Amino acid sequence: MPENFETKIGKTNCYCAFCKTPRRIYRKKNISGMNILGSAMAATLFMFGIWQGFDPRVIIVFVVFLAISESFVKIRWRLSLVCGICGFDPILYLKDPESASKKVKIRLDERKGDPQYLLSKPLNLPAISAEKSKALESKAKGQLVSRSI
Ligand SMILES: [Zn+2]
């Protein structure tokens, strides 16, 4: 296994920050030189297909293809960050921890009610002691996601 756990298709092995489940995420946030080259080739093909020769409008087509590939890479990266098991979103957690906590709580409640997960391995959720839980509950008014005694 390589030292940095990078795979050939650009995915990286990691663990969910909340439930510690092994996952694979995309690290690439922006387009690379290969994407720019691909967009240039696609724009050239488009130009010869539509206008049957060189045409300055190819620059606009090239920029549109660049924007499409950039947004595809960005959306793929953003969607791969959200944990499929517990629904934890690290980017949302940095911006708004409360709504990230609500999303995880909704996801865990769905999981609790789904019979598909009855016999599955339980999640390795963060555990806190009963005293700390009481202290947090009095402070946060029942916003606690999980508790184990
Ligand atoms: Zn998770």
Q: What is the pLDDT of residues 67-123, one digit of tens each?
A: 999 999 999 999 999 999 999 999 999 999 999 999 999 999 998 888 888 888 888
N-terminal to C-terminal alpha carbon distance within the chain:
38
Going from the Cα of 22 to the center of ligand 1, the distance in angstroms, rounded, reads 9
Residue 146 lies in a domain: no
Going from the Cα of 109 to the center of ligand 1, the distance in angstroms, rounded, reads 14
Residue 117 lies in a domain: no
Residue 55 lies in a domain: yes
CB 32 within 8 Å of CB 10: no
Residue 97 lies in a domain: no
By residue count, the chain amounts to 149
Residue 85 lies in a domain: no
Please state whether beta strands 11-15 and 22-26 pair in parallel, antiparallel, or not at all (unpaired): antiparallel
The C-alpha atoms of residue 94 and residue 40 are separated, in whole angstroms, by: 36
Residue 58 lies in a domain: yes
Going from the Cα of 12 to the center of ligand 1, the distance in angstroms, rounded, reads 16
Going from the Cα of 90 to the center of ligand 1, the distance in angstroms, rounded, reads 10
The total domain count for the chain is 1
Residue 40 lies in a domain: yes
Residue 148 lies in a domain: no
Domain that holds residue 45: 35-73
The C-alpha atoms of residue 35 and residue 17 are separated, in whole angstroms, by: 31
Going from the Cα of 117 to the center of ligand 1, the distance in angstroms, rounded, reads 15
- Band the pLDDT of 145: cuts 50, 70, 90: low
pLDDT at 17 over 50: yes
